[in-house]
Structure 1
C-alpha cells in the first residue's frame, strides 16, 4: 500500500526545494488549514464539499500521482500532439515526457508550462483568464480558436468519477474548457487517483462513453474493476 503521510525529506526532494523553504511553506499551509502537521511529515486535509487548493493537492497522494503519471507517459509517443490539463496529476506527467522527440504539448496549466519551459517540447498555452488558485488559464472562444487544434491524446483531470454520471469537477469555467478539449481529441485519458472514484461533484464534464481510458493507482476499491468491465472505458491500474 502507498503511504498516506508525506515525509519532509521526500517532499523537499520531489519539489526541488530546501528543507527550510519547505518548512516555511508547510507552516503557512498549516495556518490556512490546508494540511495537518504530524511527527516527521504532513497530512493533507481534504474537504468533501469543495476543491482543495492546487498548492495543497501538489503534495497530497504524491506517490500515487507519480505512478499514474509514469503510466500515462507510456502512452505518449515521439511526434504526438497532446493536451495536458491543469491539475496536480497532469503536472507530474510533464516530468516524464521531457525527452520525447518532436512532441507538442497544448496546456492551460502554468505549472506544466514552467516544468517544460527549458525542454525540447513545443509548448502551446491556451489564452484566457488566469485562475490563480488553480494556477490555470480558463479559455474563452474569442481569445483562442479551439477548432484549429488537432489533438491526438488529451490527458484530463477530474475531481469525481462515477459509472452513472462520468467525470465531474468543481469549477464551471474549468469544466467548459475540458469539455471542448474532450470533443476535439482523438483519444481521451483521465488521470485520477483512487480518491476520486464514487464521487459526483458540482459540474458534470463528460459521460464515460466519451472517455477512452482512466488511469488510476492500485489503491482503488477493487469493486470498480468488475464494474468497469461493462463499460467501453478502459480502467488502467498503475502498478
Structure 2
C-alpha cells in the first residue's frame, strides 16, 4: 500500500471511530510503527488529525460542517453504494428531487439512462452532472451557498406549491431516533422542510457516520421519513432499533 493510500485509510477509519489506537492502525494497515509514525506526522502537519496518548483522533471542522469538496472524497465507496441503491428506487417517468450534498450528488451518476425522468434540484454539481443527459432539469431559484455549491430559497423566490415530486432524496448531517434528521445550516434545513412537505415519498441518503448525531437545526422527525438508505457499517443495535419504528432502514450493498 502506497503512503497516500495508507493516509487515506487512516482518515477513513478515524471518520468512523473518531479515536484509534496506534496498535489498531499497525494491525489494520500491516505496517511497522515507524512507518505509521511517518504517516501520522504528515497528517498532523496537515491539520487533519491530532495525536493523543497511545493513539490519534480526527480533527473536526471548526464550524461543524465541512465543505462539500472535502465531503466529496470522504467515505466515497460508501456514498457510491448508497447512491446506487437509491437509483434502484427511481423509475422511468418519475419526478424526483435530488438534494445538495456529497451522497445525493452520486445518485446523478446512476440515473442518466432513465427515460422521461424529471429532476428538481438545488445542487449545482447535480445540474453539471446531468446537463448533457436527456433528463429534464428544474433548478430551484434563490441564493447560492458557494461553500456548499447549492441554491437555498424562500417562498418569495420559488413557488414550491407548483412542484409535484414523487420521490425526494434528502441529505442530512445528523440522525437520531428521538429527534429525527438535522443539519448545520438553517437555509438548507428550510429548503429540505419545504421539499419534505411537497413530496410523496422521502428517502434520506446518509452514510453510517451520521447516526447518533443531533446537530444544530432540526429538519424532520423520523415519522416523516419513509426510507433511510445507509452503508454496511451501520451498527447492528441501531438496525434492530429501526425494526420498531415505521421508517424503513435500507442497507446498501
TM range (shorter): 0.7 to 0.9
Please identify runs of 4+ aligned residues in structure 1 that moved more than 2 A: 3-7, 30-36, 44-49
Return the match for 1:125 from 139, 144, 167.
139
Aligned to 1:78: 92
- Give the CA deviation at 1:143: 1.4
Asked if structure 2 preserves the Cα contact closer than 8 Å seen for 1:228 and 1:235, the reply is yes
Within 5 Å, give how 1:31-42 maps onto structure 2: none
State the secondary structure of the residue aligned to 1:177.
helix
1:143 maps to 2:157: yes
Aligned to 1:213: 227
1:98 maps to 2:112: yes
1:60 maps to 2:74: yes
Structure 1 residues without counterparts, runs of 5 or longer:
8-29, 37-43
Aligned to 2:206: 192
- Give the CA deviation at 1:56: 0.3
Instruction: Classify 1:141/1:221 alpha carbon distance in 2 versus 1 (closer, same or farther; 3 Å).
Output: same
1:46-77 Cα shifts (integer Å, max 9, x gaps): 44860011100000000000000000000000
Distance 2:46 2:59 in 1: 7
Computed over aligned residues only, the root mean square deviation of the Cα atoms, in angstroms, reads 2.2
State the secondary structure of the residue aligned to 1:152.
strand
Instruction: Using structure 1 for the length normalisation, give the TM-score.
Output: 0.82
- Give the CA deviation at 1:141: 1.1
Aligned to 1:167: 181
1:201 maps to 2:201: no
- Give the CA deviation at 1:5: 5.8
Distance 2:237 2:185 in 1: 29
1:113-169 Cα shifts (integer Å, max 9, x gaps): 000000011000000000000000001211110001000000000000000000000
Which is greater in Rg? 2
Instruction: Using structure 2 for the length normalisation, give the TM-score.
Output: 0.78
Q: State how many pairs are aligned.
A: 208
Distance 2:100 2:59 in 1: 21
State the secondary structure of the residue aligned to 2:110.
coil
Distance 2:6 2:87 in 1: 24
State the secondary structure of the residue aligned to 1:224.
helix
Instruction: Classify 1:102/1:169 alpha carbon distance in 2 versus 1 (closer, same or farther; 3 Å).
Output: same
Distance 1:76 1:169 in 2: 25
Instruction: Classify 1:31/1:93 alpha carbon distance in 2 versus 1 (closer, same or farther; 3 Å).
Output: farther
